[in-house]
């Protein structure tokens, strides 16, 4: 079975530049994908829905998530998501009102506090509000990897969800939160429970990989295979909770994915051009791996150490290329 890749993307200018490189002619000839691409787009407002044709051109299926977890801490998305919820009254009303544009709504869990158990009952209520409007619904079930395991109350709520969802239509995603420094291993017991409970559904593992917080090893493909999942996904070397933009950092870390080792090499420096010179000296560096690697080489040669947008595009593009072309 060829496992699908689901990159979690925000509709920003850098992300749009990257996803465009996987649309159109990239589906054909020697650039044909070895792995299907099903983007998860985290939208902040109705305006983001206008860009969906761009993602649909690149992916065979596009999930739409209004990520309510961003209302519970200050991130780059908080203001937009909060305003959209206030305008529509709830995310279910947002989905219903724009059902002509949204083909596959995705219901994500709330994360009320860093250590609070996830409340899965909200999935049941939102599902019931949407099931008459959408033939297919996705559920993004957050798993706290720092917790000892699902409680009896959580398991009961999940069993109730399994009674109303549709195995042949609905999709279940097991999203590992707090996976830094290998803590995602503790989530496997919960993944096993969820895989058994939702046997017969399309399922997938998200975020067994967090290179921004020390978990540089990508274990998602292995976990997806171990639990017979249909897909895996992650933030494509970005942050779950991106902070609001501040001033220019005093130093940076250049993160570059090694497809064969499924690991991220980290190169620090005062700017990206300085860090990039160490990357060029790395024995595993391959300038001709993809267009994004050639872009990295060009940025280093031009000394574009502070062109943060183009460096982000190159980093994400190289990673997604590695995955969808079967290198990861």
Instruction: Compute how many other C-beta atoms are within 10 angstroms of the C-beta atom of residue 311.
Output: 24
Closest to 144 in 3D by CA, of 104, 99, 103, 111: 111
Residues 127 and 164 sit within 8 Å (Cβ to Cβ): yes
Q: Is 146 exposed, middle or buried (0-12, 13-18, 19+ CB in 10 A)?
A: middle
Residues 175 and 142 sit within 8 Å (Cβ to Cβ): yes
Q: Outline which parts of the chain fall under CATH 3.20.20.
A: 4-234
> Domain 4-234 maps to which CATH number in 3.10.580, 3.20.20, 3.30.70, 2.60.40?
3.20.20
Distance (Å) of CA 36 to CA 2, 6, 182: 8, 9, 27
Q: What pLDDT does residue 327 have? A: 61
Output Rg (C-alpha) for the chain, integer angstroms. 19
Closest to 149 in 3D by CA, of 118, 173, 109: 118
Where the chain has pLDDT below 50, the residues are: 27-30
Residues 318 and 256 sit within 8 Å (Cβ to Cβ): yes
HEC profile of 217-256: ECCHHHHHHHCCCCEEEECCCCCCCCCCCCCCCCCEEEEE
CA of residue 278 relative to chain centroid, distance: 28
pTM for the full predicted model: 0.94
Contacts for 298 with CB less than 8 Å, ≥ 6 apart: none
Distance CA 158, CA 176 (A): 16
Instruction: Compute how many other C-beta atoms are within 10 angstroms of the C-beta atom of residue 100.
Output: 7
Residues 7 and 21 sit within 8 Å (Cβ to Cβ): no
Q: Is 206 left (phi over 0), alpha (psi -120 to 50) or beta?
A: beta
Q: Specify the residue for token string 């870390």.
A: 253
Residues 46 and 64 sit within 8 Å (Cβ to Cβ): no
Instruction: Compute how many other C-beta atoms are within 10 angstroms of the C-beta atom of residue 225.
Output: 13
**CB-hemisphere CA count at 13 Å for 312?**
17
Q: What pLDDT does residue 135 have? A: 97
Q: What pLDDT does residue 29 have? A: 42
Distance CA 232, CA 221 (A): 6
Helix 308-324 to helix 13-20 angle, to the nearest 10 degrees?
Answer: 40
Q: What pLDDT does residue 28 have? A: 46
Q: What pLDDT does residue 31 have? A: 56
């Amino acid at each position: 079975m060829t496992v699908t890749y689901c990159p979690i993307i925000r509709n920003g200018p850098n992300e749009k530049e990257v996803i465009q490189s996987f649309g159109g002619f990239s589906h054909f000839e020697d650039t044909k994908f070895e792995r299907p691409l099903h983007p998860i787009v985290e939208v902040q407002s109705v305006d983001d829905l206008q860009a969906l044709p761009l993602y649909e051109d690149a992916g065979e299926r596009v999930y739409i998530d209004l990520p309510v977890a961003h209302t519970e801490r200050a991130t780059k998305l908080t203001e937009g998501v909060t305003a959209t919820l206030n305008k529509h009254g709830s995310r279910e009303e947002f989905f219903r009102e724009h059902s002509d544009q949204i083909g596959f709504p995705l219901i994500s869990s709330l994360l009320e506090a860093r250590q609070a158990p996830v409340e899965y009952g909200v999935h049941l209520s939102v599902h019931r509000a949407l099931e008459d409007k959408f033939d297919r619904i996705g559920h993004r079930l957050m798993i706290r990897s720092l917790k000892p395991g699902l409680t009896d109350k959580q398991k009961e709520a999940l069993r109730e969800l399994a009674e109303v969802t549709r195995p042949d239509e609905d999709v279940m995603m097991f999203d590992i939160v707090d996976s830094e420094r290998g803590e995602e291993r503790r989530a496997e017991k919960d993944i096993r429970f969820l895989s058994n409970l939702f046997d017969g559904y399309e399922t997938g593992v998200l975020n067994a990989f967090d290179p921004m917080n020390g978990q540089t090893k990508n274990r998602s493909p292995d976990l997806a295979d171990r639990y017979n999942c249909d897909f895996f996904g992650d933030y494509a070397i970005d942050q779950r909770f991106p902070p609001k933009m501040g001033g220019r950092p005093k130093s940076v870390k250049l993160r570059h994915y090694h497809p064969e080792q499924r690991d991220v090499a980290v190169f620090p420096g005062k700017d990206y051009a300085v860090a990039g010179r160490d990357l060029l000296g790395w024995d595993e560096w391959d300038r001709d791996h993809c267009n994004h690697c050639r872009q990295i080489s060009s940025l280093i040669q031009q000394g574009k150490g502070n062109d943060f947008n183009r460096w982000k595009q190159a980093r994400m593009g190289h990673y997604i290329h590695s995955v969808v072309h079967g290198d990861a």
